[in-house]
Amino acid sequence: MDHFALRDGVLHAEDVPLPRIAEEVGTPVYVYSRATLERHARVFAEGLADVPDKLIAFAVKSNPNLAVLKVLQRAGFGADVVSGGEMRRALAAGMAPEAIVFSGVGKTMHELSEALDAGIGQFNIESREEGRELAELAAARGQSAPACLRINPDVDAKTHEKISTGKAENKFGIPLIHARDVFAELAGLEGLDLRGVAVHIGSQLLDLEPLETAFGKVGELVADLREAGHTITHVDLGGGLGVPYKAGENPPSPAEYGAMVARVTKDWGVHLTFEPGRVIAGNAGVLLTRVVRVKRGGNGPPFVIVDAAMNDLARPALYGAWHDFEAVEPSGERLTANIVGPICETGDTFARDRECDALKSGDLAVFRTAGAYGATMASSYNSRGFVAEVLVDGDKYAVVADRIDAGAIMDAERVPEWLA
Ligand SMILES: Cc1ncc(COP(=O)(O)O)c(C=O)c1O
Ligand SMILES: N[C@@H](CCCC[NH3+])C(=O)O
């Protein structure tokens, strides 16, 4: 069942007609479906049914909304966090500290110590330097930080270059050629309980082959480390599974992914961690927007100007990403248009020469697949503030993030006396 679907000619989120949300909450607004989040969580977990000992840690960066995290906590997920702020969100949503994994190349001393205080389940160490710093900090408190070493397998994930993380030239992880040496040094430090390795080669992967290659390299490393006398009990396989943004895109299903993982890891004898983000949240959300006006083009198609902009949904401007754009009450007529926001740069273009539903001033429309890397990447550029977020559950909905208008942001600023 599609939880964002046309019924009686009107697009619904579960049983709630989107015009009702637009009327009551205003636009633009992110709308998430609880049923879709739960279905995706279930399907992902079912895909991994043959992996007995595991933690599924939702990548909080993809959608850090507290209500979304709560849905996933109730589905049995933990959290993959990359900042102190994300860690506090996961804890606030009720995730057990032991079910929290902390990744990222630039964890500060403050964040490391905050995570030690919280007693999180795993630090994914991304450099020799970070490992030493964490060990010193933990030892000084009489703690031993549970950790994995994130390796960089130098595998091309065949995704957008800005979201590829496993090539040698990327900043992430420790190059395989140094991994044995770094592991040996860090495993000997008092403040660390170095118990395994982690890998994550990129996001929006549409092919299993790079993942399988990377996991194969991890398997070889685990065998080498064991041979060198290390005890390896944990491996973190990261996230990255892609989702369809447009017709014709066919990412591997969670079942196919799970079957590959089960086959590759069957003899490893370790606890496995997974860090899915987009595959859980991406198609569980839309950005609902209203057409401000339609402007005639110069020598091209008309401009459909919507009240959402690149500050609300950055992916098209940042990565040239495609998001399906549909009318909430399609008339049946079609149009070829440039879909743009109000921001003062040409980059504020959601789609160029796009065939879409014919729309006029005041009509509602959605950008699909906006539940991951949508609201979380918003900025207040052009003093536009932050849009509200709504969670739909059957025939009811709740505002799960208030709109923060430009005035509230301005209230946090001041002109110093010596300048007044
Ligand atoms: C370390 C790590 N884990 C998990 C993820 C989640 O990735 P995705 O949303 O593609 O599943 C990311 C982002 O690519 C990441 O950097
Ligand atoms: N922000 C990216 C994904 C980044 C993945 C982070 N590791 C996107 O929207 O596609």
Q: What is the pLDDT of residues 109-122, one digit of tens each?
A: 999 999 999 999 99
Question: For 232-254, what is each residue's pLDDT tens digit?
Answer: 999 999 999 999 999 999 999 99
pLDDT for the residue 154: 85
Q: Of 82, 138, 141, 139, which is closest to residue 108 (Cα–Cα)? A: 82
Exposed, middle or buried: residue 1 (CB in 10 Å: 0-12, 13-18, 19+)? exposed
Tokens, residue 420: 């007044």
Tell whether ligand 2 has an atom less than 6 A from the beta carbon of residue 373.
Answer: yes
* Closest ligand to the CA of 370: 2
At 384-413, the pLDDT tens digits run 999 999 999 999 999 999 999 999 999 999
- Residue 356 annotated to the active site: no
> What architecture (CATH level 2) is domain 4-32+282-411?
Beta Barrel (2.40)
Cβ count near 403 (within 10 Å): 15
Which of 158, 172, 170, 174 is closest to 212 using CA atoms? Answer: 158
Q: pLDDT band at residue 356, thresholds of 50, 70 and 90?
A: very high
| The predicted structure's pLDDT at residue 163 | 85
Structure tokens at 37: 């989040």
Q: How far is residue 384's CA from residue 367's CA, in Å, rounded to a whole number? A: 19
CA dihedral 172, 175, 179, 183 (to 10 degrees): -30
Query: What is the Å distance from ligand 1's center to 84 Cα?
Result: 17
Model pLDDT, residue 204: 96
Ligand 1 midpoint to CA 59 (Å): 6
Give the HSE-up count for residue 290: Cα atoms under 13 Å, Cβ half-sphere: 14
Q: Which residues contact 394 (CB under 8 A, 6 or more apart)?
A: 14, 15, 35
Question: Per-residue pLDDT for 318 more than 90?
Answer: yes
Find the catalytic residue in 223, 344, 406, 408.
344
pLDDT (0 to 100) of residue 198: 98
Give dist(CA 54, CA 44) in Å, integer: 12
Residue of 58, 126, 204, 279 with the most ligand 2 atoms within 8 Å of its CB, for mutation? 204
- Residue 33, strand partner residues: 392
Q: How many CB atoms lie within 10 A of CB 55?
A: 22
Residue 419 pLDDT greater than 80, yes or no: yes
Confidence of residue 158 (pLDDT cuts 50, 70, 90): confident
Does the annotation list 319 as a binding residue?
Answer: yes
What are the structural domain ranges in the chain? 4-32+282-411, 34-278
**pLDDT tens for each residue of 162-198:** 888 888 888 889 999 999 999 999 999 999 999 999 9
The answer to whether the CB of 351 falls within 8 A of the CB of 322 is yes
Ligand nearest 102 Cα, by number? 1
Amino acid at 318: L
| H/E segment holding residue 128 | helix 128-140
315 lines ligand 2 (CB under 6 A): yes
Q: What number of other Cβ atoms are within 10 A of residue 397's Cβ?
A: 22
pLDDT of residue 60 exceeding 80, the answer is yes
Query: How far is ligand 1, taken at its centre, from the CA of residue 90, in Å?
Result: 16
Q: Which two tokens stand for residue 372?
A: 């991951």
Give the DSSP letter of residue 202: B
The answer to whether 4 and 286 are in contact (CB under 8 A) is yes
CATH hierarchy code of domain 34-278: 3.20.20.10
User: Hey, is 5 helix, strand or coil?
Assistant: strand
Tokens representing residue 332 in the block: 């049946």
For 177, the enclosing helix (H) or strand (E) is helix 176-187
For ligand 1, what atom is nearest to the CA of residue 275? 4
Token representation of residue 289: 């927007």
Place of tokens 């004898």: 269
Q: In degrees, to the nearest 5, what angle opens at C-alpha 359 toward C-alphas 355 and 365?
A: 90
Average pLDDT of the chain, as a whole number = 97
Mean pLDDT of 312-334: 98
At 248 the pLDDT is 93
For residue 169, the model assigns a pLDDT of 82
Q: What angle do CA 146, 147, 149 make, to 5 degrees?
A: 170
Name the least confident of 38-42, 56-60, 165-169: 165-169
Percent of the chain surpassing pLDDT 70: 100
pTM of the predicted model over 0.90: yes
Please report the atom of ligand 1 found closest to the CA of residue 239.
Answer: 11
Please name the residue that has the structure tokens 């504020």. 348
Alpha helices in 268-314 (DSSP H): 278-281
CB 142 within 8 A of CB 191: no
* 161 C-alpha to ligand 1 centroid (Å): 14
In eight-state DSSP terms, residue 21 is H
